[in-house]
Amino acid sequence: MSINRRRLLALCRKETLQIVRDPSSILIAFIMPVVLLVVMGYAINLDVDHLRLGIWRTDSGAPAVRLEQALRGSTALEIHSGSSKASLLASLARGEIRGLLVIDDGFSRALAGQGNGTPQALLLTDGSEPNTANFVTNYVQGIWQGWLAGEGVAMPVSIESRAWFNPALVSRNFLVPGSIAVVMTIIGALLTSLVVAREWERGTMEALLATPVTKGELLLSKLLPYYGLGIIAMLLCLLFSVAVMGVPWRGSLLLLFLVTSVFLGSALGLGLFLSTVMRSQFNAAQAALIAAFLPAVMLSGFVFEIASMPPLLRAITHLIPARYFASSLQTLYQAGSVFSILLVNGFCLLLLAGFWLALTARKTRRTLE
C-alpha cells in the first residue's frame, strides 16, 4: 500500500483546518478534559471526613472519660450525644449518625482489674452502607488502640504501618490519574468516531473517493491530526492535575509520551472503526460513549477494584485499553518509572492498537459501496 507524501500532507492539512473551524472538536479536546478532571477529581472522593458517631456513656470513671475525649479529639469523627440510648439508636436507624459507641457501667473498673472480665465497649454501625460502616469501625479501632497505649495497657503485638508512594493516603492522588485515562478514552474515541461519518453526512466522502487517494492515506489523514490533538490534551491534563489539583508527578515525561502514544492508537482506532461502520455522527457518538466511556469507568480499575470482580468480568477487563493506561498513569504519578509495569502495559496497549487499526483498515472501502 503506497503512500504519497504530498497527498497525505494535503489531507492532514484539510483535516487540521476542519478541527480548527469545528467548535465541537476544540470543546472535546480542550474544555472537556478540564471539566471532567475537576468533576472526577473533586466529586469522586474516597476520603471520608466528619463521620457522625454517637456516644452513650454511663460509666463515669476517668478511663471512660478519657476514651470519649480521645474520640472527640479526632478530626475524622463528628461526635453526637443524645438524651438517651434509645434516642441515639433512633438516630442510627434514621441515618443521622453512622455509628454508636456504648460504654456501660463497669468499663473503668474492668480496665483497672477490679471487675470480672475484660473492659468492653459496644460499637454499632449502619450496615446499610457497608463501606461507611467499615470506615467507622476502622477509625474507632485505631483511636481505641492509641488510647490503650496511652493508658499503659499492655498489648501483645504492636504493628507499625507505613504507606509508600502516597504517605498521606489521599485518594485524589490515585483517582486523578485514573480520571485522566477515562478522559483520554473519551477524547480519542469520540473525536475520531465523528470524522468519517461527518464526511458522509456532508457529502465530501464521495468527492474524496473520486480522487487517487489510497486507503492508507485516507486513514492516516484521519489519525495523525487527532493524534497530535490527543498529545496536547494529555499535556493539558498533566499540567492541570499537577499545578492546580496538586497531584504529585514522579515519572518520566518521555515514558508518558510513549505510553500515551500507544494508548491513543487503540482509542483513535476504536473511534475510527465506529465512524467507518456507522455513517451517522449521532449514531457514531452514541456507540463511542457505550463502547469506550462505560468500560473505561466500570472496568479499568479506576474506581472499582478489578481483583474483586467476578472471573468473567476480570477476563473482559484485559480487552479494555483504559485498564492498562490507568495503571500506567497511576504508576508514573505515584511510584515513578517502574519499567516492569510500564513495559507490560505498553505491550498490551500496542496489541489492542494493532487490532483496532487493522480492523478499521479492513472495514474501510475505497468505493462508494
Q: What is the pLDDT of residue 1?
A: 54
Compute the distance between CA of residue 259 and CA of residue 345 in angstroms, rounded to an integer.
Answer: 8
Three-state SS string over 184-205 comes to HHHHHHHHHHHHHHHHHHHCHH
Residue with cell 456532508: 202
The domains of the chain, with CATH numbers, are 5-44+170-363 (no CATH), 51-150 (3.40.1710.10)
Interatomic CA distance for residues 48 and 53, integer angstroms: 13
Q: Phi/psi of residue 79, each to 5°? A: -85, 135
Region 353-368: mean pLDDT is 80
Q: What is the pTM of this model?
A: 0.80
**What integer pLDDT is reported at residue 47 of this predicted model?**
66
Rounded to an integer, what distance in angstroms lies between the CA atom of residue 357 and that of residue 161? 47
What confidence tens digit (pLDDT) does each residue in 294-312 have? 899 899 988 788 888 899 9
Would strands 99-103 and 51-57 be described as parallel, antiparallel, or unpaired? parallel
Other beta carbons within 10 Å of 275: 29
Contact 91, 97 (CB under 8 A): yes
If you search the block for the grid coordinates 473505561, which residue do you land on?
296
| 218-270 pLDDT tens trace | 889 889 999 999 999 999 999 999 999 889 999 999 999 999 999 999 999 99
State residue 116's pLDDT score: 61
Q: Give the chain's radius of gyration (CA, Å).
A: 28
Give the pLDDT mean for 34-38. 86
User: Which residue intervals of the chain are DSSP H helices?
Assistant: 5-21, 23-26, 32-38, 62-72, 85-94, 107-111, 130-150, 171-202, 204-209, 215-239, 253-277, 281-288, 294-299, 311-317, 321-330, 339-363
* Higher-pLDDT residue of 110, 327: 327
Residue range 96-121, pLDDT digits in tens? 999 999 998 888 888 777 666 666 78
